[in-house]
Amino acid sequence: MNLLVIGSGGREHALVAKLKENAEVQKIYCIPGNPGIAQIAECVEIDSLDNAALVAFAKDHSIDLTVVGPEIPLSNGIVDAFKANGLACFGPTRAAAQIESSKTFAKQLMAKYDIPTAKFAVFNHAKEAKEYIQLQGAPVVVKADGLAAGKGVVVAMTMDEALAAVDMIMCENVFGQAGNQVVIEEFLVGEEASILAFTDGKTIIPMVAAQDHKRVYEHDRGPNTGGMGAYAPAPIITAAVSEQVMKEVLQPTIHAMESEGCFYSGCLYLGLIMTADGPKVIEFNARFGDPETQVVLPLLDSDLVTIMHACINGTLADATVKWKEEAAVCVVLAAGGYPETYHKGDIISGIDKAEQQGAYVFHAGTASDKGQVVTNGGRVLGVTATASDIRQAVDKAYQAIESIQFKDMHYRKDIAHRAISKA
């Protein structure tokens, strides 16, 4: 088999590594990939939003399965284009990807089908949004409607912060057209968790539950990021909670999507918050989460290629999806200044040594420069370790990190602290 993976981050590196475990896979291509992926696949420079060029590449290279990592190609209709050409592509169609590309679509879907989520209101004009906030008071959550690379959400603890968030999103257009509409949500209190699930549109099978750390500093302080680390399994998602989420959220969601003419196949990411009233949906993503993928996939004890084909072919009910009785922890190594302005082009050393200690080092924001691996993003590397329990996985990950260096490297020292406190 020849496979193609779309994307360039740590999520895609983890996907390529897992897909490569299938003995029948002869060649994996990645568009555009990164230096870490280049060690196990062939990276190709093609615009990931040029559907015609991607289809042509898949045909020319006899691609048997294409896996889409990021949300933007999905919302750009890559799956639709591949399907129209008889090519197997794992992921939802453009219409189904609205569950992530439009917060308004997702919230209205949940409201219509009684899927538990925060109370909300949608606004097209800043003035009306501000008036609503002044009536509701703070804390409150302000979200840009469209895709904003995981940064379009402001948890405003004060009225001033909430009003400033509306200005930033709708008036200053920090997120471009993604901020033409805003969703204002009630502030929910509780511990958060992520559940990724495989689905063929009829059957849905949850993966091991994970928790990520969004805040940049220890003790969950500082601005939100794309994720500073993650761990799985998440103790807060007990067997009883998992069953409840399956019954009240996952199954109703895929049925709702089909009812709305947006048949959903691929990976559905569910962001949950455990409130006093039970689990509620914070957000849906239409693809594998990042960095959750770096801890979930290493725990998968079944063949990912087979599962993905089952999702595409509508045979997931007959597929085997098993998990290792282990734990995984991922610590993100970030560039100095992230998530604000940060420097690129700094030489990274010690990756090989970290891997020799048994860790996975997933490249998230790297590039090659004169034979050296250098920083090329805010989140640079994801160092993942697996072990028999969370505590051992944490120790193993941080031990591996000691081998890695680049200028102004920073990372959280408390990844998985919630799980450890429950142990």
Contact call for residues 52 and 65 (beta carbons, < 8 A): no
CA-based torsion, 297, 298, 299, 302: positive or negative: positive
- The CATH topology of domain 327-422 is Glycinamide Ribonucleotide Synthetase; Chain A, domain 4 (3.90.600)
* β-pair partners for 328: 232, 386
Q: Which of 23, 410, 19, 20 is closest to 218 using CA atoms?
A: 410
Give the closest residue to 379 by CA, choosing from 6, 8, 5.
8
pLDDT at 210 over 80: yes
Report DSSP letters for 234-285, one per residue.
-TTS-HHHHHHHIIIIIHHHHHHHHHTT----EEEEEEEEEETTEEEEEEEE
Query: Which CATH superfamily groups domain 191-318?
Result: ATP-grasp fold, B domain (3.30.470.20)
Q: How far apart are CA 139 and CA 99, in angstroms?
A: 25
CA 224 from centroid of its chain's CA atoms: 14
Assess whether pLDDT exceeds 90 at residue 224: no
Q: In this predicted model, what pLDDT tens digit does every residue of 59-90 receive, in sequence order? A: 999 999 999 999 999 999 999 999 999 999 99
> pLDDT confidence of 230, banded at 50, 70, 90?
very high
* pLDDT reading at 226 higher than 90: no
Tell me, yes or no, if the two domains 2-93 and 125-180 fold the same way: no
Inter-residue contact 65 to 42 (CB < 8 Å): no
Q: Give the DSSP H or E segment for 29.
A: strand 27-32
Query: Is the pLDDT reported for residue 420 higher than 90?
Result: no
Tell me the pLDDT band of 159, cut-offs 50, 70 and 90: very high
Contacts of residue 107, Cβ cutoff 8 Å, sequence gap at least 6: 117, 120, 122, 183, 185
Answer whether 163's CB lies under 8 Å from 127's CB: no
Percentage of the chain exceeding pLDDT 70? 100
**∠142-146-150 over CA atoms, to 5°?**
70
Return the domain boundaries, the chain. Answer: 2-93, 125-180, 191-318, 327-422
Q: 292 with 372: CB under 8 angstroms?
A: no
Query: What is the domain class of 125-180 according to CATH?
Result: alpha beta
Query: Alpha-carbon distance 260 to 189, whole Å?
Result: 31
Whether the per-residue pLDDT at 151 is higher than 80: the answer is: no
CATH of domain 2-93: 3.40.50.20
Per-residue pLDDT reduced to its tens digit, 315-365: 999 999 999 999 999 999 999 999 999 999 999 999 999 999 999 999 999
pLDDT at 423: 66
Residue given tokens 């008071």 in the structure block: 137
